[in-house]
Amino acid sequence: MLLQDNLTLVEDCFKDARITDDLCPSSMKKYASSIRTFFPVIGDKKFQDLGNEDFDRLIIRMKERGASSARISNIIASMKWITARLQDKGIVSERLNLLTIRKPKVMKKETNYLTETEVRQFLDCIKRDIAQRETVRNIRFFALVTLLMQTGARIGEALSINRDDIDRQNKEIGIIGKGGKPRKLFLREETLQLIDNYLSIRRDSQQALFVTQDRKSRWQQTDVGRSFRKYKRLSGIKKNFVIHTLRHTFATQYLMKGACINVVQTALGHSDPVTTLKYYLPVA
């Protein structure tokens, strides 16, 4: 449990993030989990009393407990995010120097993506299901997966789209990406047709592009996961992959076809080309 003072500060920062779209809901959940982990490990302290030595203590103690470097780095990143905002408000002093906080080295993993054959395999199993019995559920999932594969959008970005965000004349969708950065998703004609087909069978007035089966609320990531796991199993693909792999697949296939790195950077919504290079340079 967080100290009440800390909990109030965290809630205030997340409230600001919701207003400014600084974080998507899924990121807020991850940050909250990391923050809840941080304080019990280093000892219950107030944000105002934190120093760089507390982050060193976190690393040592979590390593002793067998935590991975990636997990520790995620916790530190979450704490740096909220602490920076508390410093901006004058709540946390500059004694805590965010620039000199150390993190354990995380070994770079090979970027996981689907080959063109695996992409066809995955999409074909959804098409077969639709051919057997066309439902709102499978039409919806096919439209979402095609959108993700064709644009490289994050799942949270795709689920935040409203009907009115779609510019059919220019075949594009305006979204607010990670960190509150606006960008465009550019659509192929086939993707737009799949979206319109899905909307045509819904018969509701919900503004959200992707909605729940009862059409009462926006489709959530946890529910998408159920459909994703079903078709992953039916596809017969042996490779271990998750829904975010579709974003990696978009970027990797794009680079393999000769796109330059800054075109991919723009499409993915990375503010720094170094981020794109970190994941995709070996492919280029």
Largest CA-CA distance found in the chain, in angstroms, rounded: 64
Q: Please give the structure tokens belonging to residue 240.
A: 């271990």
- What's the CATH number for 4-100? 1.10.150
pLDDT at 127: 97
Q: Is the pTM for the entire model greater than 0.85?
A: no
> 79 near 42, Cβ under 8 Å?
no
pLDDT at 181: 82
**How many CB atoms neighbour CB 5 within 10 A?**
12
Q: Where are the domains of the chain?
A: 4-100, 116-280
116: Cβ contacts below 8 Å, ≥ 6 apart: 253
Question: In whole angstroms, what is the distance from residue 46 CA to residue 139 CA?
Answer: 50
pLDDT at 59: 94
CATH topology of domain 116-280: hpI Integrase; Chain A (1.10.443)
pLDDT at 283: 41
> 53 near 13, Cβ under 8 Å?
no
Residue positions annotated with a catalytic role? 154, 178, 244, 247, 270, 279
SS3 116: helix
pLDDT at 165: 95
- The residue assigned the tokens 């004349």 is 169
SS3 2: coil
> 50 near 92, Cβ under 8 Å?
yes
Residuewise pLDDT in 10s, the chain (284 residues)? 567 888 899 899 999 888 887 777 777 888 889 998 999 998 878 889 899 999 999 999 999 999 988 889 989 999 999 999 999 988 887 778 888 998 888 765 667 899 999 999 999 999 999 999 999 999 999 999 999 999 999 999 999 999 999 999 999 999 988 777 889 999 999 999 999 999 999 988 899 999 999 988 999 988 999 999 999 999 999 999 999 999 999 988 888 888 777 888 888 888 766 667 666 654 43
SS3 245: helix
Please state the length of the chain: 284
Closest by Cα among 191, 194, 185 to 151: 185
Cα→Cα distances 113→19, 107, 220, Å: 34, 18, 23
